[in-house]
Amino acid sequence: MELLIVSGLSGSGKSVSMNALEDIGFFCMDNIPARLLPKIVAFSRAGDSQLDRVAISMDVRGCHSQQEILEALDQLDLQQTPYKILFLDASDDVLRRRYKETRRRHPISLAENISTQEALAKEREILRPLQDRADYIIDTSLLSTAQNKERICDLFVPGGGAKAAMRLTVMSFGFKFGLPGEADLVLDVRCLPNPFYVPELKHKTGMEQEVVDYVMSFAQSRELLARIEYLLAYALPLYVKEGKSALTIAVGCTGGKHRSITFARKIAEYCQQQGYAVSIQHRDAAR
């Protein structure tokens, strides 16, 4: 089991980081009390319930002293549980500004009726054992939400980086059955010659090579595909940069059986070659 303990100052971006980790395949548990950490880890490793990648968030809501944290980490060491620690930090000025902008109170400030600055100082002291043992420290003071997510993906996606964190779906569909509601980007290939009017191809689909060969035999088809690939080469990194976790590209023709399937397959193949994790769906192929 790959165990990652995520901690850091309140307001430093732990929630964003946990969401990013969940997007890339971690089983995430938030706000775990320090005293429960060894038991939860033991359960996660046991029998049929064993999990491959687990991220556990710990902060001052569940860690009330350095001693609690040190005892929990010592228990993991006694269990011979390998783990890594990710610690999120930011300057006090930035954290105070974030609290002011959200109009929320620091959890220690709320519980003990002290100023935000005093609460931050106390929080830093409590979490010091986690920061001192951290394998990764990210200062989010100057990072946007998307940049924070990108840093997480670069650290924890094996060989994939932020591209692999965006779930990319390429879908074929027929316009006569309506637009897919989940589509982010819709491409219309009804402008291309239609295999439906070729008797030997009419009852086949774009899953068969004869149809693909026919659709792609036309110069306008090859040119349109090249221009779509040019668009995606520019646009997809922008979606990744903005922290998009899922993107659906819908490719439509009249009935959703020939041209749209052919182009959906070609587009999915191109995106895979660019390093994106892609799934493909043919919504209307069986109609």
- Does 50 have pLDDT greater than 80? no
Task: Tell me the pLDDT band of 138, cut-offs 50, 70 and 90.
Answer: very high
CA within 13 Å, CB half, 164: 16
Q: What is the structure's pLDDT at 145?
A: 84
Task: Tell me the pLDDT band of 164, cut-offs 50, 70 and 90.
Answer: low
- Contact yes or no for 168/277 (Cβ under 8 A): yes
Q: What is the structure's pLDDT at 76?
A: 92
pLDDT one-digit tens code per residue, 20-44: 899 888 999 999 999 999 888 888 7
- Does 165 have pLDDT greater than 70? no
Domains and their CATH numbers in the chain: 2-160 (3.40.50.300), 166-282 (no CATH)
Task: Tell me the pLDDT band of 166, cut-offs 50, 70 and 90.
Answer: confident
- Does 281 have pLDDT greater than 90? yes
- Does 159 have pLDDT greater than 80? no
pLDDT mean over 234-238: 93
pLDDT one-digit tens code per residue, 91-105: 999 999 998 888 788
Task: Tell me the pLDDT band of 51, cut-offs 50, 70 and 90.
Answer: confident
Q: What is the structure's pLDDT at 283?
A: 93
Q: Which of 43, 46, 20, 16 has its CA nearest to residue 32?
A: 43
Q: Which of 122-136, 137-151, 159-173 has the highest mean pLDDT?
A: 122-136
Q: When comparing pLDDT for 286 and 258, which is higher?
A: 258
Q: What is the structure's pLDDT at 160?
A: 55
Q: What is the structure's pLDDT at 229?
A: 97
Conformation bin of residue 37: beta by default, left when phi > 0, alpha when psi is -120 to 50? alpha
- Contact yes or no for 180/259 (Cβ under 8 A): no
Q: Which of 107, 112, 1, 103 has its CA nearest to residue 63?
A: 107
Q: What is the structure's pLDDT at 48?
A: 63
- Does 136 have pLDDT greater than 80? yes
Range with the poorest average pLDDT among 126-135, 153-162, 218-227 = 153-162
